[in-house]
Amino acid sequence: MKNGGPKGINWEAALEFYLTPDSEGRIPSYQDVANKFGVSKNEVGKRAKKENWLHRRRNLYDLAEETYTDNRIELINQTVRKHITAWQDIQNLSDVFLDQIDKDLTEGKFKWSLVSRLAAITRILKIAIEGERTALGLPNSVNPSSVQLSREEVTLSPEMVAEIDHLFEINRSVVVS
């Protein structure tokens, strides 16, 4: 029923007007519809009741709210994924630097600058891991009461002892130099 009622009112247009907020976000009333389409408020009320305008408006706004919520959730998920990727990239870059330091140490190229680089990488890595954990919703601190220290005796392999001795030798030679 495109044109019906008094003065050939376009009720589809009237309904669309009723369902659409104005530029300031104000929702039109039956009186607003009546004024715009030159009909009485009573006539608009009858038509609205017959075509269930209130229910249609409620459904429309419920759908808009659901769409807004879904879009917000997706935006949050995209942001979290982006942050996790960035923090993981920083961790991977730190691994490259750590591998280079390990290579230099293995080749006997110890320099004190390696210590400061290692300290800087450690700080960066700590921040990157905390950032990733925050993005994942994981805690960044451990309650000391939940930490269980092992009282077991530690046995090192002969290779590990040799490597530790080698590090001490490097340290002594640097200090003596």
Q: What is the pLDDT of residue 143?
A: 64
Which tens digit of pLDDT belongs to each residue from 70-88? 888 888 888 888 888 888 8
- What is the distance between the alpha carbons of residues 57 and 94, in angstroms, rounded to a whole number? 55
Helices 30-37 and 11-19, interaxial angle, to 10°? Answer: 140
Q: What is the pLDDT of residue 1?
A: 43
- Residue 118 located in a structural domain: yes
Helix (H, G, I), strand (E, B) or coil at 148: coil
Residues 87, 136 within the same domain: yes
- Residue 30 located in a structural domain: yes
- Residue 98 located in a structural domain: yes
- Residue 73 located in a structural domain: no
pTM here is: 0.44
Domain that holds residue 17: 3-51
- Which 8-state DSSP code applies to residue 153? P
Distance of CA 33 to the CA centre of its chain: 43
Residues 47, 83 within the same domain: no
Locus of tokens 């075509």: 51
- Residue 112 located in a structural domain: yes
DSSP 9-52: EEHHHHHHHHHS--TTSPPP-HHHHHHHHT--HHHHHHHHHHHT
- Residue 172 located in a structural domain: no
- Residue 157 located in a structural domain: no
Q: Please provide residue 131's backbone torsions phi and psi, each rounded to the nearest 5 degrees.
A: -60, -45
- What is the distance between the alpha carbons of residues 41 and 55, in angstroms, rounded to a whole number? 18
- Residue 69 located in a structural domain: no
Tell me if 113 sits within 8 A of 96, measured CB to CB: no
Confidence at 42, pLDDT banded by 50, 70, 90: very high
Structure tokens at 71: 């879009």
The total number of structural domains that make up the chain: 2
Tell me if 73 sits within 8 A of 67, measured CB to CB: no
Percent of the chain clearing pLDDT 90 (strictly above): 25
End of a domain among 12, 34, 51? 51
Residues 46, 97 within the same domain: no
Confidence at 146, pLDDT banded by 50, 70, 90: low
